[in-house]
């Protein structure tokens, strides 16, 4: 007879665990198959479980860094369509974490699901936050202007999978609502480049706020997510960024594990 999710006959996972994840070039170099490449990415995944009588059930933190000898470039000579230049910058700010020089930080905390004093945990499974940033260069004639994009979100989510299934089998199905932020940083965001931003973007604005709806699932070490940020723009509409845009992502949540501590969950 197949075991029910609430009675999965397996050992408890480590109380604290750390895993490293690298891209293909990094993993080959780690195994001695190739030399260290100038451009590669490395990620760290931290996971902690608490005893069942604690107010937190699980914490997952992931950090990834991509490094390259040169940053991504955006070219604009002032002769192309203004709409094209705005859409190019808007698409970059929508998801800056995919650039060659980028950093991504994510945090997901699950509330303890079996506490009658906190009835709201049946609706809100936990709290989630994510921060993504990157370096890029804008070529404007003979000038090179360095800038960064910043993407952030913070909010609550609901996981439709029971806690034992999530902990022991690594399955989850989540729906979330978050505060969302997109910002332009670096030299391009300085006041002396206000006129250039009006030419390039149609506005001198450097920050956008709004709501971000997310839907995602996890199948053991594979994680996929759909994000729909709805950013308020007013008269500062930026094609590719404002209104309701959609982002899809696929990643891994497993790698080279290092067990730190183990205890019984009572």
CA separation for the pair 25, 39 (Å, rounded): 8
Phi, psi angle pair for 14, to nearest 5°: -60, 150
Residue 18 has pLDDT above 80, yes or no: yes
Q: What average pLDDT does range 200-223 have in this prediction?
A: 89
Residue 201 has pLDDT above 50, yes or no: yes
* 144 contact partners, CB below 8 Å, separation of at least 6: 137, 138
CA separation for the pair 123, 162 (Å, rounded): 12
pTM, rounded to two decimals: 0.78
CA separation for the pair 133, 97 (Å, rounded): 5
Q: Give the residue carrying structure tokens 């909010």.
A: 155
CA separation for the pair 59, 155 (Å, rounded): 15
The residue extents of the domains of the chain are: 14-261
Read off the tokens for 196. 């250039």
CA separation for the pair 92, 73 (Å, rounded): 11
Q: What is the per-residue pLDDT across 95-142, written as a single tens digit (0 to 9) for each?
A: 887 777 889 999 999 998 766 667 777 789 999 999 999 988 888 777
Q: What is the per-residue pLDDT across 210-221, written as a single tens digit (0 to 9) for each?
A: 999 999 999 887
Q: Exposure string (b/e) for 126-137, b if CB count within 10 Å is 16 or more?
A: bbbbbbbbbbbb
Q: What is the pLDDT of residue 39?
A: 54
Q: For all residues of the chain together, what is the average pLDDT?
A: 78
Residue 187 has pLDDT above 80, yes or no: yes
- β partners of residue 230: 211, 244
Q: What is the per-residue pLDDT across 27-80, written as a single tens digit (0 to 9) for each?
A: 444 444 444 444 567 888 888 988 776 778 889 998 988 877 667 777 666 545
């Amino acid at each position: 007879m197949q075991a029910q999710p609430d009675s999965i006959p397996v050992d408890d996972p480590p109380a604290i665990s750390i895993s490293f994840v690298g891209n293909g070039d990094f993993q080959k170099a780690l195994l001695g198959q190739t030399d260290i490449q100038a451009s590669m990415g490395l990620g760290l995944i931290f996971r902690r479980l608490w005893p069942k009588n604690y107010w937190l059930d699980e914490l997952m933190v992931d950090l990834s860094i991509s490094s390259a000898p040169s940053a991504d470039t955006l070219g604009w000579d002032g002769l192309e369509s203004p709409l094209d230049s705005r859409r190019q910058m808007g698409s970059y700010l929508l998801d800056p974490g995919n650039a060659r020089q980028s950093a991504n930080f994510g945090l997901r905390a699950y509330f303890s699901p079996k506490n009658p004093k906190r009835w709201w945990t049946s609706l809100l499974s936990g709290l989630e936050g994510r921060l993504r940033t990157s370096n890029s260069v804008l070529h404007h004639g003979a000038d090179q202007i360095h800038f960064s994009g910043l993407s952030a979100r913070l909010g609550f989510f609901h996981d439709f999978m029971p806690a034992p299934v999530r902990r022991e089998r690594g399955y989850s199905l989540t729906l979330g609502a978050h505060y969302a932020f997109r910002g332009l940083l670096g030299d391009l965001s300085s006041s002396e480049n206000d006129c250039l931003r009006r030419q390039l973007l149609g506005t001198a604005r450097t920050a956008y706020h709004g709501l971000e709806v997310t839907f995602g699932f996890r199948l053991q070490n594979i994680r996929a997510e759909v994000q729909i940020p709805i950013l308020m723009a007013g008269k500062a509409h930026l094609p590719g960024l404002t209104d309701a845009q959609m982002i899809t992502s696929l990643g891994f949540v497993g790698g080279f594990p290092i067990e730190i501590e183990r205890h019984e969950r009572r």
